[in-house]
Amino acid sequence: MKEYIFENRELSWLSFNYRVLQEAKDNANPLYERIKFLAIYSSNLDEFFRVRVASLRSLLRLKKKSQEDLGFDPAELLKQIHSIVHKQQEEFGEIFRSQIIPELNENDICLVNSEQLNGDQKEFAEDYFQVNVIQYIEPIPLVKSEIPPFLRNGGLYFVVKLSRKIEDEKGKEQKKYAYELVQIPSQHLNRFITLPDKDGKTQIIFLDDIIKLNLRLVFPGYKIEDAYSVKLTRDADLYIDDEFTGSLLGKIKKGLSKRSTGVPSRFLYDNSMPNQFLKFVKSAMQLDNEDMVPGGRYHNFNDFFGFPNPGKDELEYKPLHPFGHKEIDNAENIFEAIKESDKGLFFPYQTYDYVVQLLGTAADDPEVTSIKITQYRVAKDSQIITSLIKAVQNKKEVVVFVELKARFDEERNIKWAEEMEKAGIKVYYSFPGLKVHAKIALVTRKENGAEVKYAYLGTGNFNEKTAKIYSDIGLFTKREEITNEIENVFGFLSSKSFDYKFEHLLVAQFNMRDKFTELIDNEIRLAKEGKEAKITIKMNSLEDKKMIKKLYEASNAGVKTDVIIRGICCLVPGVKGQSKNINVISILDRYLEHARIYIFNNEGNEQIYCASADWMKRNLSRRVEVGFPIYDENIKKDIKHTIDLQLSDGKKARIIDKENLNNYLDVETDISSQEAIYNYFEGKNK
């Protein structure tokens, strides 16, 4: 069997996060958007350490033989990860110091530290500390050879070295040292405080520096020798060992209560901390070498999402308001619009209000008898769930499948599920061993004495908030061949019976992997017959080795393949005898590319699918996913046009290659595909 090469998943992810960092240093982006990209990079990295690095570190506890069976050395991989992260964070600091800070100054916005304040500002800082901060300050002694204090996951702390003078037995004056931890209460207060103006410029200071400046008020009688910021990241896995017995809901609730106490996966410290001080902290906190990660003076850059803008709108993206869909707007109501023809929706270029409208109208419509829907990541103030509760109050059957294992959204999903159950909605919960990631809704309505079904299928969550920043595709349809199969999906979700067949939908656990393989095999056959063979796919992540091998096989047969990947890509393109016919690009821009699109040329009679699923082993093997065919020629045209624009993006597309260089795509056009797609839908709405 031919030996193929693959990119490591974790290293590919770090390459993706570097593309986020590239956006932070791209001068074409407005200043405050570049600051947000720094925040995104930081937030992404936190999650990476909480989930992926924590998982890798758990592998170190395996016996040597078990580690060998993994096919890689977890210790060596962790070493590579730390090396790459260190280089990236050095560049992060350089971007912040050499680009962001000077450009803020050019715009009369000064981010100052505790050493740069004048007398009035110091007085303001002390007053602010006394009124707003000191109530949250509870110092924790740090002593060697004692049980280490518990640090909140992601919490910010100062480790403070104190001294005071004492007399020894002979009356000789000596210094006595003590060490304390002081939490920076950013969970209660804004991380950034606006100071009184200086020289007509806006002055902003970290909460950290307000505290550092006033530590003497916390420790009267002591001299503050040193104070350095630290942060601990903890393992975020819920570690539910057995999902198959007892209450999975109860186990997830219990696991959530323990997540904040997970084992350390990263201890981030100010790299200017003297070695002796650092050794003391490491020993007193009972940390390992693998825990220790050097950083800068400040941590939790994800707080820069809230960096104050003193009314300078030109420093942010110009708002791009979503367009309507002319055919839906001109119809008598949403159901009449769907009757006329399938309707494709392209978010956030077109408004997500139509999805909310479908469910809101269904809740009030006396002819609607039932609503069925899946929920994966629910908005904080969900209009969709409000409509579902209203529908059950209006005596309609409402069935909701809630996935409790949506990482970091478990608590919110549980809250909404319990609210819905109280209202009388029939709620089904997570499958043991599976995640339900499908994004589908089905409305049944009485029309002329018969039942008519209307469906919505999407590539993104039923979430009004993320629909404004995630690029996704949705489909409204009443085609019976699709709506009947959606009914079958809900039958499976409620009964867990595998006695269903799917001919149009691609459903993971049933036919998704086999159908994708069949579609690729068809292009391979055409290429071998000397006919044009082409595949174009777009997804978030490409990791499943079986699907990658199939694409390698297609490349070797002469199938031309274009891949658009946002994040992880374990396929290595451009390798002789493996992937010479495969080109891979990645696009990062103001919207998060989230749609999954699969286009197979099929001798010019293109077969196009959109899906909730990436080509990752978890999506194809351990989840319930739904892919849906696009039969309407107008929607096909829109999809193909948006894909063509992305493949010719001369501003935001990067080349994915075996060196992970993230070079920008060198094409003749100088377009931003997202801007061009926005203009395209603006034209369609006129």
Give the span between the Cα atoms of 347 and 130, in whole angstroms: 47
- The residues, ordered by sequence, that sit 6+ positions from 585 with a Cβ below 8 Å of its Cβ are 562, 563, 564, 565, 646, 647, 649, 653, 654, 655, 656, 665
- Buried b or exposed e, range 56-83, using 16+ CB within 10 angstroms: bbebeeeeeeebeeeeeebeebbeebbe
Distance CA 631, CA 454 (A): 16
Residues 6+ apart with CB under 8 A from 652: 587, 588, 589, 672, 673, 674
Q: How many H-runs (helices) and E-runs (strands) does the chain carry? A: 22, 27
Task: Say if CB 359 and CB 387 are below 8 A apart.
Answer: yes
Cα distances (angstroms) measured from residue 175 to each of 140, 222, 225: 21, 10, 11
Instruction: Say if strands 435-436 and 623-624 run parallel, antiparallel, or are unpaired.
Output: parallel
The helix (run of H) or strand (run of E) holding residue 417 is helix 410-423
Tell me whether residue 504 is one of the annotated catalytic residues: no
- Can you say whether the dihedral through the CA atoms of 467, 406, 421, 438 is positive or negative? positive
Backbone φ and ψ for 443, nearest 5 degrees, come out as -115, 125
Question: How far is the C-alpha of 655 from the C-alpha of 23, rounded, in Å?
Answer: 15
Q: What is the CA radius of gyration of the chain?
A: 28
How far apart CA 4 and CA 399 sit, in angstroms, is 46
The residues pairing with 596 across neighbouring beta strands, listed in sequence order, are 611
Read off the DSSP letter of residue 57: H
Query: How far apart are the C-alpha atoms of 163 and 158, rounded to whole Å?
Result: 16
Residue 129, Ramachandran bin (φ over 0: left; ψ between -120 and 50: alpha; else beta): alpha
Catalytic residue among 321, 437, 594, 641: 437
Alpha helices per DSSP H over 260-352: 275-284, 326-329, 334-340
Phi, psi dihedral angles at 637 (to 5 degrees): -60, -45
Q: Report yes or no: 477 and 630 within 8 Å, Cβ to Cβ.
A: no
Q: How far apart are CA 662 and CA 12, in angstroms?
A: 11
Question: What single DSSP character describes residue 446?
Answer: E
Evaluate whether 225 touches 177 at the Cβ level (below 8 Å): yes
List CB contacts of 123: < 8 A, sequence separation 6 or more: none
> Quick check: 433 and 243 in contact, CB under 8 A?
yes
| Selection from 229, 196, 231 nearest residue 211 by Cα | 229
Please identify every residue annotated as catalytic.
437
